[in-house]
Amino acid sequence: FQISNYLATDMKLDEAKTNVMKNWDRTLKRIIETKQDDIYSDYLDAFAHALDPHSSFFSKDVMEDFEIQMSLSLEGIGATLSSQDGFTVVEALVAGGSAARSGIIQPQDKIIAVGQGEKGPSENVVEMDLRDVVRKIRGEKGTKVRLTILRKKAEGKERFDVTLVRDKIKLEDEAANILYQ
């Protein structure tokens, strides 16, 4: 079925088979790397939902994300990230964030390594869980983070490093708007 979906997009059979195998390998890797705390958290959340559909269990990570959504601010670089084919991809830049102010980072850039401070080693984040990459990028206001970016160009790919200063990012666009008529 998955191969037929790829074939429906005019992909060649060999390429479709390769893509399906890559997807399953990535899924298996994600399952193997699932932390015990995540399994425990999922179990407790399912148990809470079974008792009451309006109850949830918040793990430390989920609680942190919930607090960010409620306070409409976070400390980081101001970029919305996603995971695509094992890469962390910049989806959008938050206006006023250090990523947007730098003028260097663009949507669809791939983050392939993250380093803390101005010097020191950078850690490869290809095939790393998105939550772990975000944890490495977020940090205390005023601290620096180095990102190694891979950008697709018409004539190939460009790889470069950028150092950003983490700042407090306001997420007003996430706020619920009430319209009065």
Supply the pLDDT for residue 45. 92
CA distances from 120 to 4, 75, 87, 115 (A): 47, 22, 22, 7
Question: Is the pTM here over 0.75, yes or no?
Answer: no
Strands 79-84 and 87-93: antiparallel
What's the pLDDT at 181?
A: 46
DSSP 37-98: HHHHHHHHHHHHHHH-TT-----HHHHHHHHHHHHTEEEE--EEEEEETTEEEEEEE-TTSH
Cα dihedral 50, 56, 59, 62 sign: positive
Q: Is 96 left (phi over 0), alpha (psi -120 to 50) or beta?
A: left
For 52-104, how does the pLDDT look when each residue is reduced to its tens digit (9 = 90+)? 999 989 888 888 777 776 766 677 888 889 988 888 999 988 888 888 888 89
What pLDDT does residue 110 have? 92
Please state, in angstroms and as integers, the Cα–Cα distance from residue 52 to each residue in 38, 40, 48, 55, following that order. Answer: 21, 18, 6, 5
Distances (CA, A) of 48 to 35, 43, 63: 20, 9, 15
Give pLDDT tens digits along the chain (181 positions): 999 988 888 889 999 999 899 889 988 988 888 889 889 999 999 999 999 999 989 888 888 777 776 766 677 888 889 988 888 999 988 888 888 888 898 899 999 999 998 888 888 988 888 888 888 888 888 889 999 999 888 787 888 889 999 888 776 655 555 445 4
